[in-house]
């Protein structure tokens, strides 16, 4: 399972770099400064949570492969990227204001994911023989 999280984390980071470059070079002259800021917020949150996904995958591969908390945290980060950043990209590109209602759902996914990582961190380490 950690290899799946590693894969989606790497793809999320790859897409974040590409979308960031596209925004900086291809959209700067097209979007208003306000919509450009919305787009850049999407890129920023995508990159931070792609790194979070990679961190979760690394922790799972090193010491907690069977941790359901970390598995949920990773998948919630990915879902959060899709909902939070995805809705901001579409809002900026298509100027569809109603997509702003989707963004907080992604934020809730992010908050829940990081909460699960925190709960995992408080659990005692279990050594397997």
Taking a C-beta distance cutoff of 8 angstroms, is the pair 27, 36 a contact?
A: yes
Tell whether 34 is covered by a domain: yes
The answer to whether residue 66 is domain-embedded is yes
Helices (H), the chain: 2-22, 33-62, 68-80, 86-94, 103-122
- Highest-scoring range by mean pLDDT, 53-57, 58-62, 96-100: 53-57
Q: What pLDDT score does 4 carry? A: 92
Residue 28's pLDDT is 86
Query: What would the pLDDT profile of 79-127 be if each residue is shown by its tens digit?
Result: 999 999 999 999 999 988 898 899 999 999 999 999 999 999 998 765 4
Angle 2-22/33-62 helices, nearest 10 degrees?
160
pTM of the model: 0.90
Whether residue 96 is contained in a domain is answered as yes
Cα angle, residue 53 at apex, residues 46 and 48 outer, rounded to 5°: 35
In a domain, residue 128? The reply is no
Q: CB count, 10 Å around CB of 60?
A: 24
What is the span of the domain harbouring residue 64? 2-121
Please give the tally of structural domains in the chain.
1
């Amino acid at each position: 399972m950690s290899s799946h999280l590693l894969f989606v984390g790497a793809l999320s980071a790859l897409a974040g770099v590409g979308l960031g470059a596209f925004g900086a070079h291809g959209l700067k002259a097209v979007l208003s400064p306000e919509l450009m800021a919305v787009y850049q917020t999407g890129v920023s949150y995508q990159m931070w949570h792609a790194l979070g996904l990679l961190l979760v995958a690394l922790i799972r591969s090193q010491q907690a492969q069977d941790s359901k908390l970390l598995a949920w945290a990773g998948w919630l980060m990915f879902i959060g990227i899709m909902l939070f950043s995805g809705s901001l990209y579409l809002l900026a590109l298509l100027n569809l204001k109603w997509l702003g209602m989707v963004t907080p759902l992604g934020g809730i996914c992010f908050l829940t994911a990081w909460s699960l990582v925190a709960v995992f961190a408080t659990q005692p380490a279990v050594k397997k023989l």
